[in-house]
Amino acid sequence: MSDQGKRKNLGRGLDALLGEDALAEFSSSQKAGETKVTSVTVAPIGSLVPGRYQPRTQFVSSELKALAASIKVNGIIQPILVRNSQINPEKWEIVAGERRWRAAQIAQLHEVPILVRKLTNIKALEIALVENLQRANLSPLEEARGYEQLIQEFSHTQEKLGELLGKSRSHVANMIRLLSLPDSVKSLITSGALSAGHARALLNASNPGELAKLVVKRGLNVRQTETFAKKAGVKSRKSPNKYEKDADTLALEREISTSLGLSVSIHFTPSGGKVTVNYDTLEQLDEVLGRLKKH
C-alpha cells in the first residue's frame, strides 16, 4: 500500500478531529497579534512550548536542518496547532507541529503561524498521535507508548483506538506488547537495527534479548526471525531448569505436615520458592489460620 493510501486509512484523521481543514482556515487567517480561540494567528516563536502529550521523543538533526532550509525559502505553509498551556497561561502548548517549530528555530524565525484550539487532554493526545502517524514520524516504541497512554490515562479500549486510527485491534495490541520487551531489545528498535516486525517475532521467545543480538548479527529478515524464535522456544521448553528437593527439604516437608496434620509441599523457583498447604475442609483451614495468628 502506498504512503498516501496508509494515510487515508488512519481513521477520522486530523480534519475530522479538528472539525475543519486547518489549511483552509490558514488561507483566511486573522491579522497578526490576534489570540481569538480557534483562529489562525502569528505568535513569537518563544511563546510556544512542547506538548505534554507529544508521543515523539526523537528528532533527527539532519531532517530538522533540511526542513529548516525549506522553511527559509517557503516559510511555514501549515500553521502549528496549539492550545493554551495549562502550566503557563502565557505560553502556547504545541499539539501538532513540533518539528516545524524546532526547524523554525534553526531557521532563526522570530514568529510562526499558529492555529489555536480549545482542546481537552485526551483530544490533544489523539491529535498528536494521528498527526505523527499520518506523517510516518513515529518510531514503533513511540507509537506503542502513545497507545498505552491513551489506554491508561484516558480509558480508551484497543477497539476504540483501532477505530480512531484506522488500525486493527490486533495491531494496537501487538504494538503495546513491544513495551514488555527487555531494554536491550528496545534499544535495538530505537536505533533502527531491529524493526517492529522483528521485535514482534521475539515477543514469545524465552530469551528475547540474546535472540535479538543474534538476529541483528546474522542479518535475518522477519520470516527468518520468526522461524529462529520458534526453534529457540521449543528447545528451551525441552530442557527446563529443574530444582531437585534435597534431603533437608523433604525432611522439613514431613515435619510441617506432621505438625499441621495436613499435606505440605515446598517448591523452589529461580526467584525464591513457595510453601503449599493442602486442606480438605474449611475447618482445617481455620485451624491453620488460628495457628498462624498465634505466632
Catalytic (active-site) positions: 98
Taking a C-beta distance cutoff of 8 angstroms, is the pair 164, 130 a contact?
yes
Contacts of 240 (CB under 8 A, 6+ apart): none
Taking a C-beta distance cutoff of 8 angstroms, is the pair 190, 139 a contact?
yes
Rounded CA separation 66/196 (Å): 27
Rounded CA separation 264/257 (Å): 5
Name the helix (H) or strand (E) containing 186.
Answer: helix 183-191
Taking a C-beta distance cutoff of 8 angstroms, is the pair 185, 177 a contact?
no
Strands (E), 102-245: 111-116
Rounded CA separation 108/62 (Å): 16
Name the helix (H) or strand (E) containing 95.
Answer: strand 92-96
